[in-house]
Amino acid sequence: MQRPVFAPLGSAVTSQSCEVLTSFIEQAAGNLVCLTGAGCSTESGVPDYRSPEGSYAKGHRPMRHQDFTRDPAQRARYWARSLKGWRFFDAAHPNIAHRALAALQRRSYVAGVITQNVDRLHQAAGSNFVLDLHGRNDEVECLGCGQRRRRASLQEELEAVNSGWIKKHLMPGSMAATDVRADGDAHLAVQDFADFFVPHCGACGGVWMPRVVFFGGSLQPEVRDEAMRQVTDAHSLLILGSSCQVFSAYRLVKSAADAGQPVALVNIGETRVDSLVAPHLRLPFRCGDALSAVCGQLGIPVLNQ
């Protein structure tokens, strides 16, 4: 059974900043939409791209949509490396940021969550009305017939049909995830993946692809339109842990700012939308610290999981 606790004021968050953010949330009167990014999940150990410890800082080039869909060698590289990375991602649990946001939503302060993350940790923490802007990493879809299956079952199949490759290329104990990348793969000291077998769809022989938007890919039109509708209909927009560098996030913030909607930003480091946010609503704190401080201010219990 979950044990309710009252989160104390985050040590890194000043009382004044907590009051500013709390007031911002209260004034939205239950019509607040939150846009979340990697900064919400880093406290769960999920890597990001742009922080000093992120994938870009390690020289990682993310998988691009056209590379995955057109090049069998690139698909083999991705799936081989994901033998390590997937286990790590699948084992991640919601952190205080996810749980505090879910608590605010249960008390009707937050109307909906639009997330750039594909880890489904908001849902695991109890949030509802979550729009997965960039898809979800726990399912795969056939590019031929559209059939879907659990990502975990494909990962199990990959391990079964590549048992010889694993014995040849992965030393004992190396299946533990080290140097995990933000897009779900992990570093391997292997250059040639020609003998790595990638299963095809049993129904049509098509290509399995994670249900995520890789770099260079496009949002599903219905997801794009629903995100814009939610932001347009909201009283206020709260950005949590996103630099908003990708256009899919930037356009939502730009739309809200152009419409004169109040916009607040909780993020460590510079963002693409800093100029669109009033200085007093630009809060450079960890999402978990900021949201737990607000819950403490409002007397809202955050459930331990």
Q: How confident is the model at residue 264 (pLDDT cuts 50, 70, 90)?
A: very high
Q: Name the one residue in this structure whose structure tokens are 């996103």.
A: 242
- Topology adopted by domain 1-46+94-134+219-305: Rossmann fold (3.40.50)
pLDDT one-digit tens code per residue, 11-42: 479 999 999 999 999 999 889 999 999 999 99
pLDDT at residue 251 in the model:
98
Give the residue among 265, 300, 305 at the shortest CA–CA distance from 109: 300
pLDDT one-digit tens code per residue, 81-139: 888 778 778 889 999 999 999 999 999 999 999 999 999 999 999 999 999 999 999 99
Return the bridge partners of 135, or none.
Answer: 212
Provide mean pLDDT across the span 144-149: 97
Provide mean pLDDT across the span 37-64: 72
Q: How far is it, in rounded angstroms, from Cα 258 to Cα 276? A: 9
Q: How far is it, in rounded angstroms, from Cα 37 to Cα 269? A: 13
**Residues annotated as part of the active site:** 134
pLDDT at residue 1 in the model:
35
Q: Produce one character per residue of 150-187: b if its CB has 16 or more CB atoms within 10 Å, e if not.
A: ebeebbebbeeebeebbeebbeeeeeebeebbbbbbbb
The domain ranges of the chain are 1-46+94-134+219-305, 54-91+140-212
Give residues with Cβ within 8 angstroms of 248, minimum separation 6: 116, 133, 134, 213, 219, 224, 227
Q: How far is it, in rounded angstroms, from Cα 119 to Cα 139? A: 11
pLDDT at residue 236 in the model:
98
